[in-house]
Amino acid sequence: MQIVTVSKGPFDGQKPGTSGLRKKTRVFMEPGYLECFVQSVFNAIGGAQGKSFVVGGDGRFFNKDAIQTILRMAAANGAARVIVGQGGLLSTPAVSNLIRQRGTDGGLVLSASHNPGGIDADFGIKYNIANGGPAPENITAGIFEQTQTITSYATLDTADADLGSTGTAQIGDMEVEIVDPVTDYQALMETLFDFDKIKALFASGFTMRFDAMHAVTGPYAKAILQERLGAPEGTVINAVPSEDFGKGHPDPNPVWAKTLMDEMMSDTAPDFGAASDGDGDRNMIVGRGVYVTPSDSLALLAANAHLAPGYKGGLAGVARSMPTSGASDRVAEKLGINSFETPTGWKFFGNLLDAGKATLCGEESAGTGSDHVREKDGLWAVLLWLNILAETGKSVAEMLNDHWAEFGRNYYSRHDYEAVPTEAANAVMDHVTGQLSSLPGTTAAGAEVSSADSFSYHDPVDGSVSENQGLRIGFASGGRAVLRLSGTGTEGATLRVYLEQYAAPGEDHGLDAETALSQVRAALLQIADLQNLIGRVDPDVKT
Ligand code: VG1
Ligand code: CO
């Protein structure tokens, strides 16, 4: 074993982000950088001696090298066994599933998710715990602490393991098991959904386009949708994972999945469209001529999940992140089940799922999932949609209109201001924070403010408290604006503004979102003084 000493951990004090550590790829490639993070993880969990882990990534540039580094370090730290996806590939939900199925002590996912890939783009790593979910805050804090004091890491001087074919390999005393990335995941999906029904739907001529965005879900979607469920060849596009995601942003939203959006809005649109992100944990759902917001998708899945075999007993509860619209709350209320509002980031759902308090969870950023794993799961959401469409025989547009007629519609949009100088972004947050107590009862741009606060989450399972999780402004009209800073960006700050307007059953549900949200937006711009503080009012990305 080789002990490499480092003068001071090459970390610059970055606190744990929304989802693991994300940096420019070249930063990760600096000698010792990845190594120090991995050693910090091992140190923070009381060492790797005798433990087993799952390791895989989304196939972006540096994925393969990083995996070899981790394997050598795991062996040097005494790990007994590591399960790796063939070719180094595993989607985030597939990692979560393998950790749970094989009972490993945890896992490492190499991905910067929706951030672009390549030597001049982004790389990332996240640690998942034995329940298969993202490390909760007490563990990420421990990892952070280790990164601040680390002085050495352990590795082996061995050749790379061959990850090209399934089977086993040996590194030092550690066994490496190379598995097909899709097999176990597909088996899990078969237990949840009525594959015969979905197969019959495709056989009847139902058409679909799935955009894998040159990222990790390509092999999964091809195996499940085309080979198993009989969707024709060409249903899955951009299906080969590439190191730079075809130079795109593997972010499944109408902006970055524009080609798919254009097709779905055209005369020749298929019945159903979907896309997934870099590491396969998110999804975008589109019907012919109609985009489904992630918040609506969560609500609609909650209302109809019982149509799929895995959920036929009903749901214990639905949890959503705070910026996600209240649409799923209305479903939970009607079903008489729990509903929860958590901070942004999947790690906050873990306790609720483990305790059996929630069955479905979702975020406005197109993450949806359930208690089948402890991560959000893009393809799972697509299959649940397909199962529901197969059962009801309705189109996506009919499903949406019926849902709004019953529950009302939460018009919704997120506006992102990217690469804002950190000081300016902080100034916006400070400016709004300073007004919170005086806002209720005042009127901004014609909209009366009914409530304003900084969101704190009290975990109902372990009692932990997470403060400063975003600023919420409620309006008497049933509107809401939320402001928060992204925890996943790698350049300056990203300011996210979330706009929502409720229209009750019987009210007009046919407006375009921009019109429906115009008053809330005007009020927010006035309260946050964006023009003055960041010099612009128009966002870079609207989803
Ligand atoms: C974003 C999303 C958040 C999601 C996170 C990780 O975080 O808003 O909902 O959980 O990305 O998703 P932020 O802090 O940038 O708003 V993923 O697919 O990158 O693992
Ligand atoms: Co992701």
Hey, what are 76's tokens? 């040097």
E strand residue ranges, 295-428: 317-321, 338-342, 360-363, 367-370, 409-420
DSSP H stretches of helix in 241-377? 258-264, 294-304, 327-335, 350-354
Residues bordering ligand 2, an ion, CB closer than 5 Å:
113, 277, 279, 281
Q: CA torsion 27→160→53→56, rounded to 10°?
A: 60
The first and second tokens of residue 419, run together, are 């690469």
Residue type, 256: W
Which CATH architecture best describes the domain 185-407?
3-Layer(aba) Sandwich (3.40)
Q: Is the pTM of this model over 0.75?
A: yes
Q: How far is the CA of 366 from the centre of ligand 2 (A)?
A: 9
Contact 313, 424 (CB under 8 A): no
Upper half-sphere CA count for residue 293 (Cβ side, 13 Å): 26
Instruction: Pull the structure tokens for residue 536.
Output: 């612009």
For the chain, which residues make up each domain, given as ranges? 2-180, 185-407, 409-542
Instruction: Supply angle C-alpha 542, 118, 541, rounded to 5.
Output: 5
Mind listing the pLDDT tens digit of every residue in the chain (543 residues)? 788 877 655 565 556 566 678 899 999 999 999 999 999 999 999 999 999 999 999 999 999 999 999 999 999 999 999 999 999 999 999 999 999 999 999 999 999 998 999 999 999 999 999 999 999 888 988 999 998 889 999 999 999 999 999 999 999 999 999 999 999 999 999 999 999 999 999 999 999 999 999 999 999 999 999 999 999 999 999 999 999 999 988 999 888 999 999 999 999 999 999 999 999 999 999 999 999 999 999 999 999 999 999 999 999 999 999 999 999 999 999 999 999 999 999 989 999 999 999 999 999 999 999 999 999 999 999 999 999 999 999 999 999 999 999 999 999 999 999 999 999 999 999 999 999 999 999 999 999 999 999 999 999 999 999 999 999 999 999 999 999 999 877 778 999 999 999 999 999 999 999 999 999 999 999 999 999 999 999 999 898
Closest CA to 115 of 237, 231, 2, 18: 18
Which class in CATH covers the domain with range 409-542? alpha beta
* Residues that are catalytic: 113
Per-residue model confidence (pLDDT) at position 430:
97
* pLDDT reported for residue 137: 83
Phi, psi angle pair for 218, to nearest 5°: -50, -60
> Cα 299–223–135 angle (5° rounding)?
55
What is the rounded distance in angstroms from the CA atom of residue 419 to the CA atom of residue 530? Answer: 14
Whose tokens are 């741009």? That residue is: 445
Domains 2-180 and 185-407 share a fold: yes
Query: Which neighbouring-strand residues pair with 336?
Result: none
Residue 116's SS3 state is coil
Looking at the CA of residue 365, tell me the nearest atom of ligand 1: 9
CA dist list (Å): 241 to 9, 238, 280:
33, 8, 11
What region does 289 belong to: left with phi over 0, alpha with psi -120 to 50, or beta?
left
Q: Whose CA is nearest to atom 18 of ligand 1?
A: 113
Please list the residues that pair with 481 across neighbouring strands.
473, 499
Which CATH number, 3.40.120.10, 3.40.50.720, 3.40.50.620, 3.10.180.10, labels domain 2-180?
A: 3.40.120.10
Name the β-bridge partners of 276.
Answer: 283
Residue 12: what pLDDT? 55
Ligand 1 atom nearest the C-alpha of 113 is 19
Cα separation, 241 vs 58, in Å, equals 8
Closest-CA residue to 343 (of 518, 432, 471) = 471
Looking at the CA of residue 115, tell me the nearest atom of ligand 1.
Answer: 19
pLDDT at position 347:
87
Question: Which mutation among 471, 488, 490 tests ligand 1's pocket best, with the greatest number of atoms within 8 A of CB?
Answer: 488
SS3 assignment, position 356: coil
Give the residues surrounding ligand 1 with Cβ less than 6 Å away.
18-19, 113-114, 277, 281-282, 321, 344-346, 363, 365, 367, 486-488, 496
Q: State the distance from the centre of ligand 1 to the C-alpha of 140, rounded, in angstroms.
A: 16
The answer to whether residues 239 and 227 touch, using CB atoms and an 8 Å cutoff, is no
The closest of 403, 414, 404, 412 to 508, measured between CA atoms, is: 404
- 488 C-alpha to ligand 1 centroid (Å): 6
Ligand nearest to the CA of 278: 2
Given a contact cutoff of 8 angstroms between Cβ atoms, the answer to whether 124 and 111 are in contact is yes
As a whole number of angstroms, the distance between CA 198 and CA 204 comes to 10
Residue 255 belongs to what H/E stretch? none
Please report the atom of ligand 1 found closest to the CA of residue 363. Answer: 9
Residue 138's pLDDT is 87
> Whole-angstrom Cα distance, residue 60 to residue 145?
28
Going by C-alpha positions, the residue among 77, 129, 91, 20 that lies closest to residue 381 is 91
How far is residue 435's CA from residue 428's CA, in Å, rounded to a whole number? 11
- What dihedral do alpha carbons 118, 124, 130, 135 form, nearest 10°? -160
CA gap 441, 333 in Å, rounded: 28
Instruction: Tell me what pLDDT residue 9 has.
Output: 57
Q: How far is the CA of 19 from the centre of ligand 1 (A)?
A: 7
